[in-house]
Chain A
């Protein structure tokens, strides 16, 4: 891949970027025409598809002693049952970063041994010509086990060596601090619960494998399946045009995808495998549970002198997933800070990223602890934060590229009506309801990664731009078209952005809120280059009205190339191409993050929540929420709102409802469905509003964005928890906050 010089600032007028456009694929989605992974079949030239259904382990740890498949094989239409006893040994080449995003460890392999590492682990796959037969036969596979009690206790299980971050002398500073607080917060395990289930269609053509997969990164199934089957990466192609939500659980390629590809290879037929809703709680990761100890030392005026975080987080026994828990290091000006993070290996499947990964976890501990300190000192929580606002990044000493958190606070206070909050808890009552307000801050790194794009301008004046990105819901297909439209001076309708094919120019994993910074910058660079090519062709063409005009003086608007000085002097892309006998013009381009990072770059959030708590019945309802975000340029306010609302609703779930429940006896997940795993309903999320602080960040990305998709969930849960305290005077340190934790004496 060829690094491109940073693009010159666009001199094009901004027409599409910054405007609230509807999704270009909205109609396809609501009319059922958008084809998600499981929808692929004959219409895509995939004939003779057969159906695979996984058999899940029913113990929490141990060994398989026997697998009896006769009854399953006797079901009409069943083709095969594959398990460790009959599966071929697969090469399983190493596939580590940067080819994959596997955490360190030994990845779970499909049917390669008789170990059961967690409840629900796939132990066999049944394939049949009909889905019904496969499903039924999967129930008839009899597996016997030698079961052992699983280790599932985050608090008591032995932990790995801690990962330690330290600056200053936190222990000494804490010991001498005039004000000292110590708390322990616990956060339940969360599952992503995307609407679309994980699904894959796998087809072999000789030694070449094609998959239609639900993924946030088409390169990952390609690289992982190539590694597993010992074939070149170029022999695998992955398509993923639409993703029906993912929230992080489709970044890495899970074992069910290998199972499908293996079955397809054994049977020499295309295989489709769709996880059931229940199976979506078994093997595709989750936000780990945490026990998060916090000790704070401060001056009487609230200035933090010492912060100590002692963290225990779940991982599996076979891999080390670690979330990035760095929020505490940079949010406040603390000279003395120490953080010990211990991963606790348990008999669970490996956790993975989930929206606002790590940052929303730390925000819950840090931002609740600050609220506790504010209460202890009798200082307004926002005032306390402002007193601890750093001038430069306290972790790196670097200046901030942009940090408009203070503006987030002031805007939020005004718009939310913060002055109406009583600083005394349990002071506002409306009938049976106690009313309270709370707030919390958050941040999320504004990162970017190399990306490339290809753009092709046709003789009809329309453009197709392509990059191997993904769109799990933020509206990437739409926002990239906006960027391309402005760079090329075209109306939206003549620009099409295509993604989701591993043969396209490479893009980074669609996660970490960095797609717009990375792919967006690549699209802009590519389209700038394509426009300049067209302009060069025009100004050098003596039949063009633009002949001889300095290239910098030419702009394009609605497909009309003209001089800046005289909009009437110009021509269209079509005229230019036709006269020059060109069928098309094309350009490839890309984006490389700068090698040296000189700034501390983050997106910020300030979240405000008002809750009503029925003091006698313990019910909490969020009456209003406001998120104020400093995320740099907002490419599409309508899509941004849908991101922000979704993230804040996710945070509401974290605070009050979401909690994967495991039976400690055997690891059985007891709420593996959407009736029992509670996510917020519309009735729970009635009044949610987002405000974006204006301003671009040209250090964070050439197109000035800092990323929005993750920060919108960071700080939401603690804002709600703090509001519950303000309403009731009761500090609940375990999330989710349940009625039983709030049932109060009269």
Chain B
């Protein structure tokens, strides 16, 4: 670990000031401390934000959900409002990491977590995200867990968060406060594809602090769920995952929200799948037809070619699970 200073922010204002001076926010520390130990991260100043009053979880007036950035993963997963209104959120969290990690880790940190690419985490390997211009070791290396969508020649790492897949499906908004005041951005624009600047992972300006994530109201009744496919039963990132939310009325799908994880450099929204579903009646054939569109534009690498077909099947399965067998 490289030497660093550590301070504890007692107010949002104080945190932002420290952040503006180059301080790095630390919440649960489950991503950051890990990477500091590997010397992938070398912050000079840590600003501990866990004491800030940003951990409320509440329903918004028109039926949406607002989750404070410092709410712990475990607490959000157990929250009755969350479980009732957006079960997919609770499912994604419960399928994440381990119980110990979920007790420490925060929602803001979860969305901000960095790639799990082995080369990124090994400072002796070239990696454009860690050291722009040094090259991407995964491109020609071992890339079984890497992305097939949203990749560039500069980086092919997936965004590892499960929760962010649900938030992307549901078109959540990221609320931030910074030196220039408040700001909100849809999560789909907040998380950035690598392009030719893979080191820029989020649309977050110096000193800006995430204060909350907000899921907009959706027509009710709403069925939602999250499916995660992985080698072992627990404690592993997704090979593929899918979040689905459907509003079905009068036997017709009126609203469909679908996004996939484990396949994209950011959580991958699937508008083609959504469009195919809307206005149609649920049926096994419909799930299959919609799922056929899930991997459009996929560019598989040497070891992750299986993800293309696996993604389609995961989408089909989850549409059936959420949409029912009708």
A positions within 8 Å CB-CB of B: 58, 132, 135-136, 139, 432, 616-619, 621, 656-657, 661, 663, 665, 668, 670-671, 675-676, 678, 680-684, 738-740, 743
Produce 1/0 per residue, B293-322, CB < 8 A to A. Answer: 000000000000010011001101100000
**Inter-chain contact A657/B232, CB cutoff 8 Å:** yes
Instruction: Report the bound CA distance from A139 to B123 in whole Å.
Output: 10
Instruction: Report the bound CA distance from A618 to B230 in whole Å.
Output: 9
Produce 1/0 per residue, B239-281, CB < 8 A to A. Answer: 1000000000000000000000000000000000000000000
A684: which B residues are within 8 A, CB to CB? 232-234
- For this complex, 25 residue pairs linking A to B, each with C-beta atoms less than 8 Å apart, are A136-B2, A136-B3, A617-B229, A617-B317, A618-B306, A618-B310, A619-B229, A619-B231, A665-B140, A665-B141, A670-B119, A670-B122, A670-B142, A671-B118, A675-B116, A675-B235, A675-B236, A681-B235, A683-B232, A739-B229, A739-B231, A739-B239, A739-B310, A740-B306, A743-B313
Interface residue from B39, B231, B306, B316 paired with A657 (Cβ < 8 Å): B231
Interface residues of B in 113-142 (CB under 8 A from A): 116, 118-119, 122-125, 137, 140-142
B125: which A residues are within 8 A, CB to CB? 668
A135: which B residues are within 8 A, CB to CB? 1
Instruction: Report the bound CA distance from A621 to B118 in whole Å.
Output: 26
Interface residue from A616, A671, A739 paired with B306 (Cβ < 8 Å): A739
B270 to chain A minimum Cβ distance, whole angstroms, is 17
Additional pairs, 15, CB under 8 Å, beyond known A739-B231, A743-B306 = A58-B124, A617-B229, A617-B310, A617-B314, A656-B231, A663-B141, A670-B122, A670-B141, A681-B232, A681-B233, A683-B232, A683-B233, A739-B239, A739-B310, A743-B313
**Inter-chain contact A432/B317, CB cutoff 8 Å:** yes
A671: which B residues are within 8 A, CB to CB? 118
B118: which A residues are within 8 A, CB to CB? 670-671, 676
Instruction: Report the bound CA distance from A617 to B321 in whole Å.
Output: 14
B317: which A residues are within 8 A, CB to CB? 432, 616-617
User: Nearest CB to that of B125 among chain A residues?
Assistant: A668
Instruction: Report the bound CA distance from A675 to B98 in whole Å.
Output: 11
Instruction: Report the bound CA distance from A663 to B123 in whole Å.
Output: 15
A670: which B residues are within 8 A, CB to CB? 118-119, 122, 141-142
| Interface residue total, chain B, C-beta cutoff 8 A | 31
B228 to chain A minimum Cβ distance, whole angstroms, is 10
Interface residue from B124, B231, B309 paired with A678 (Cβ < 8 Å): B231
Produce 1/0 per residue, B86-120, CB < 8 A to A. Answer: 00000000000000000000000000000010110
Instruction: Report the bound CA distance from A681 to B140 in whole Å.
Output: 31
Instruction: Report the bound CA distance from A613 to B142 in whole Å.
Output: 26
User: Nearest CB to that of B233 among chain A residues?
Assistant: A683
**Inter-chain contact B234/A683, CB cutoff 8 Å:** yes
Instruction: Report the bound CA distance from A683 to B236 in whole Å.
Output: 12
**Inter-chain contact A668/B122, CB cutoff 8 Å:** yes
B230 to chain A minimum Cβ distance, whole angstroms, is 8
Interface residue from A139, A678, A743 paired with B232 (Cβ < 8 Å): A678
Chain B interface, >50% SS class? loop
A657: which B residues are within 8 A, CB to CB? 231-232
A-B contacts at CB below 8 angstroms, number: 76
Instruction: Report the bound CA distance from A534 to B83 in whole Å.
Output: 71
Using known A-B contacts A668-B125, A670-B142, A739-B239, determine if residue A616 contacts B231 with beta carbons closer than 8 Å. Answer: no
A671 to chain B minimum Cβ distance, whole angstroms, is 7
A665: which B residues are within 8 A, CB to CB? 140-141
Instruction: Report the bound CA distance from A680 to B234 in whole Å.
Output: 9
**Inter-chain contact B231/A738, CB cutoff 8 Å:** yes
A432: which B residues are within 8 A, CB to CB? 317
Interface residues of B in 167-190 (CB under 8 A from A): none
B152 to chain A minimum Cβ distance, whole angstroms, is 21
Instruction: Report the bound CA distance from A675 to B229 in whole Å.
Output: 16
Instruction: Report the bound CA distance from A681 to B234 in whole Å.
Output: 7
User: Nearest CB to that of B237 among chain A residues?
Assistant: A675
Instruction: Report the bound CA distance from A661 to B119 in whole Å.
Output: 12
Instruction: Report the bound CA distance from A682 to B232 in whole Å.
Output: 10
A740: which B residues are within 8 A, CB to CB? 306, 310
B235: which A residues are within 8 A, CB to CB? 675, 681
B236: which A residues are within 8 A, CB to CB? 675, 678
**Inter-chain contact B2/A617, CB cutoff 8 Å:** no
A618: which B residues are within 8 A, CB to CB? 229, 306, 310
Using known A-B contacts A136-B3, A678-B236, A684-B232, determine if residue A617 contacts B313 with beta carbons closer than 8 Å. Answer: yes
B124: which A residues are within 8 A, CB to CB? 58, 668
Interface residues of B in 1-16 (CB under 8 A from A): 1-3
Instruction: Report the bound CA distance from A474 to B117 in whole Å.
Output: 37
User: Nearest CB to that of B97 among chain A residues?
Assistant: A675
Instruction: Report the bound CA distance from A621 to B122 in whole Å.
Output: 31
Instruction: Report the bound CA distance from A681 to B142 in whole Å.
Output: 24
B316: which A residues are within 8 A, CB to CB? 616
B318 to chain A minimum Cβ distance, whole angstroms, is 10
Instruction: Report the bound CA distance from A58 to B137 in whole Å.
Output: 14
B239: which A residues are within 8 A, CB to CB? 739
B306: which A residues are within 8 A, CB to CB? 618, 739-740, 743
B13 to chain A minimum Cβ distance, whole angstroms, is 32
A139: which B residues are within 8 A, CB to CB? 2, 39, 123
A53 to chain B minimum Cβ distance, whole angstroms, is 12
**Inter-chain contact B1/A743, CB cutoff 8 Å:** no
Ranked 8 nearest A-B pairs via Cβ: A740-B306, A58-B124, A683-B233, A683-B234, A670-B118, A681-B234, A684-B233, A616-B313
B123: which A residues are within 8 A, CB to CB? 139
Produce 1/0 per residue, B208-243, CB < 8 A to A. Answer: 000000000000000000000111111110010000
Instruction: Report the bound CA distance from A58 to B126 in whole Å.
Output: 12
A619: which B residues are within 8 A, CB to CB? 229-231
Instruction: Report the bound CA distance from A661 to B2 in whole Å.
Output: 29
Interface residues of B in 42-56 (CB under 8 A from A): none
Using known A-B contacts A661-B142, A739-B310, A740-B306, determine if residue A682 contacts B231 with beta carbons closer than 8 Å. Answer: no
Produce 1/0 per residue, B135-176, CB < 8 A to A. Answer: 001001110000000000000000000000000000000000
Instruction: Report the bound CA distance from A100 to B236 in whole Å.
Output: 40
A127 to chain B minimum Cβ distance, whole angstroms, is 18
Instruction: Report the bound CA distance from A661 to B145 in whole Å.
Output: 12
A609 to chain B minimum Cβ distance, whole angstroms, is 15
A460 to chain B minimum Cβ distance, whole angstroms, is 45
A740 to chain B minimum Cβ distance, whole angstroms, is 4
B2: which A residues are within 8 A, CB to CB? 136, 139
